[in-house]
Structure 1
Amino acid sequence: MAQQRKRTNGRTVALTSDRIIEAALRIADAEADLDRLTVRRLAAELEVGTMTLYGYFRSRDEILDGMADRAMGRMRLPAEPDAGPAEALRTVAYAFLAMMREHPSAAWLLASRVTGSPTALRGAMEAVLQRLVDAGIPGRIAVRCYGFLITYTIGFVGYQTPRPWGRLADPESIEQRRRRVHHYAGLPADEFPQVVKYADAIADLPSDGQFISGVEAYIVGMLREIDRKD
Structure 2
Amino acid sequence: MPASRASRTSLPRSTVTREQIIEAATRIADEESIEALTIRRLAADVGSGAMTLYSYFRNKEEILDAIADHVLGGFTLPPAEETEPRAVVQNLASAFLRMMREHPSIVRLFTTRVTTSPDSLRGAMEAVVGRLREAGFEGREAVQAYGLIVHYTLGFASYQAPRPWGKPDLPDVEELCRQRTHFYSALPLAEFPNLVSLAGAVTTLPSDEQFQFGLDCLLDGLLRRIQAN
Question: Scaled by the length of structure 1, what TM-score is found?
Answer: 0.88
DSSP 3-state at the match of 1:34: coil
Cα displacement (A) at 1:48: 2.3
Q: Which residue of 1 aligns with 2:166?
A: 166
Give the whole-Å Cα distance in 2 for the aligned partners of 1:183 and 1:95.
32
In 1, Cα distance between the equivalents of 2:128 and 2:76?
A: 10
Aligned to 2:95: 95
Q: Does 1:77 align with 2:77?
A: yes
Q: Deviations over 1:1-32 (max 9, x none)?
A: xxxxxx9789999311111111111111123x
Corresponding position: 1:22 with 2:23: yes
Q: Deviations over 1:113-150 (max 9, x none)?
A: 11222211111111111111110012212111211211
Contact 1:92 1:149 survives alignment (8 Å): yes
> Does structure 1 residue 225 correspond to structure 2 residue 225?
yes
SS of 1:58's partner is: coil
CA spacing shift, 1:68–1:146, aligned 2, 3 Å: same
Between 12-21 and 86-95, report the one with greater CA deviation: 12-21
- 1:201/1:190 Cα in 2 relative to 1: closer, same or farther (>3 Å)? same
SS, match of residue 80 in structure 2: coil
Unaligned runs of 5+ in 1: 1-6
Higher strand share: 1
Show the 5 A alignment for 1:29-68.
29-31=30-32, 33-68=33-68
Residue identity in the other structure for 1:14 = T
- Is 2:107–2:158's contact at 8 Å kept on the other side of the alignment? yes
Structure 1 residues 87 and 174 mapped into 2: Cα distance closer, same or farther (>3 Å)? same
Q: Distance in 2 between matches of 1:163 and 1:121?
A: 30
Note if contact 2:9-2:46 (Cα within 8 Å) is conserved in structure 1.
no
TM-superposed CA distance for 1:78, in Å, is 2.4
Distance in 1 between residues matched to 2:60 and 2:118, nearest whole Å: 18
Cα deviation for residue 171 of structure 1 reads 4.6
1:62 Cα deviation after fit: 2.4
Work out whether residues 73 and 124 of structure 1, in 8 Å CA contact, stay in contact via their aligned partners in 2. Answer: yes
- Corresponding letter in the other structure for 1:67: I
For structure 2, list consecutive stretches of 5 or more residues without a partner in the other structure: 1-7
Deviation, 1:65, is 2.4
Percent of aligned positions that are identical? 49
- Aligned 8 A contact 2:25 2:67 in 1: yes
The whole-number CA distance in structure 2 between the counterparts of 1:80 and 1:207 is 26
> Would you say how many aligned residue pairs link Structure 1 and Structure 2?
222
Structure 1 CA distance, aligned partners of 2:138 and 2:10?
55
2:190 alignment partner AA:
D
1:172 Cα deviation after fit:
2.8
Cα separation, 2, equivalents of 1:24 and 1:120? 17
Query: Conserved in 2, the CA contact under 8 Å of 1:93 and 1:149?
Result: yes
Aligned match of 1:4: none
Distance 2:103 2:209 in 1: 21
User: Does the CA contact (< 8 Å) of 2:22 and 2:67 recur in 1?
Assistant: yes
Partner of 1:191: 191
CA distance, structure 2, for counterparts of residue 151 and residue 189 of structure 1: 36
Q: Does 1:204 align with 2:197?
A: no
* Number of the residue aligned with 2:145: 145
> Which residue number corresponds to residue 177 of structure 2?
177
